[in-house]
Structures are given as structure tokens and as C-alpha cells.
Amino acid sequence: VIVIITVLFTLGVGRPHEEKHLEPANSYSCQPTRTINGASFYGKCTCKGKVLPEGTNCLKTDTRIDNEPTGKQGKCRNGDCILNNITRGCAGETPQPKKGSPPPVGCAFYCGTEERQYNYFSQGTECQHIIKGPKGNEYVNGTCQPSQDRMICVEKVNAPSAC
């Protein structure tokens, strides 16, 4: 048995999946789908018909506070992934996207390690917006614009040429 396990890890079978999907391709696999900051996260809270222990780290695809789809962290409760609560905060922090790097996805940034908080980049900040395309998710350039009580990434649209 030890030889078989060693061979599987050598071949990479025992490594966490790196796909963008949060649920493993084999939903009967009881392995974590991601490792974030050293912690294992599962794509669902059930395995082979059984419920994972209460408080197990999980990921769930949901819409962020800036309307971008993403995998969000949560904890398993009664077989469901209950998302962690984050509050608006990050007072005094106004990070700027790094020069030479692609713009951030969406208009929200996050801070805090003990208590996760979020806030928004300022209006006009360049960003990327995720749209569903014929081949899956596509990223389009935009700028952060206010929408009700949040800031969202609005796709740049070229104005038609004047006649």
C-alpha cells in the first residue's frame, strides 16, 4: 500500500487540483480542491454521501460585493458551504494596482488577516470584468464606476465615430 501511495504522489495524482472549477472533476474524491495560505479547502461539503465535519474549510462560487464571480471561502455546516462574513472596512487603505501588472479583476480589495474586510478602488481605476464568452469566462477591460452602494467594473465601450 505504501508503495502505491508513493507512486501516486510521485506522479502528481495526490496534488490539489489547480483548475478554476471549485468542485473536483471526480465528486467522489474526498481530497481538498485548493490550498490557500497553507489551509486545505474542499469544493463541497459532502463526500461519498457523507457530510464533512462541521467547520471544514470550503469554497463556493458566488458573486463578490463588486458583482464579479469568484470562489469564496466558507465553513461546512450540515453539508452546506456557508460563506464567511466579511464587512466593509480597510479604513485608511487605498491600494493602487501595481504598474506593469494587468488591472485587478473587479473593483474590490481586501485587507485584514484576523477579520477579513473589503473596500473599493476609487472611481476611474482601471479594472478587468469577467464575462461569459463562447469558450468560458473572458476578461474585458473597464473602469471602476459607482453603482448604487458599491463600485463595479464597467466594460469600456468605444464610442461610435462621429459622422
pLDDT tens digits, residue range 104-114? 999 999 888 77
Query: What is the rounded average pLDDT of the residues 71-93?
Result: 91
Q: pTM of this prediction?
A: 0.65
Enclosing H/E stretch for 152: strand 150-155
* Total residues found in the chain within this entry: 163
pLDDT tens digits, residue range 14-58? 333 333 344 444 444 578 888 888 899 999 999 988 999 999 999
Helices (H) and strands (E) in the chain, counts: 1, 13
In 3D space, the residue among 52, 4, 63 whose CA is nearest the CA of residue 27 turns out to be 52
Enclosing H/E stretch for 81: strand 80-83
Query: What domains sit in the chain, N to C, each tagged with a CATH number?
Result: 13-85 (2.30.130), 86-156 (no CATH)
Please answer whether residues 22 and 58 qualify as being in contact, where contact means their C-beta atoms are separated by less than 8 angstroms.
Answer: no
Q: Determine the Cα–Cα distance for residues 124 and 130; give it in Å rounded to an integer.
A: 17
End-to-end CA distance of the chain: 76
Q: Can you tell me whether residue 116 is helix, strand or coil?
A: coil
Q: How far is CA 119 from the centre of its chain?
A: 16
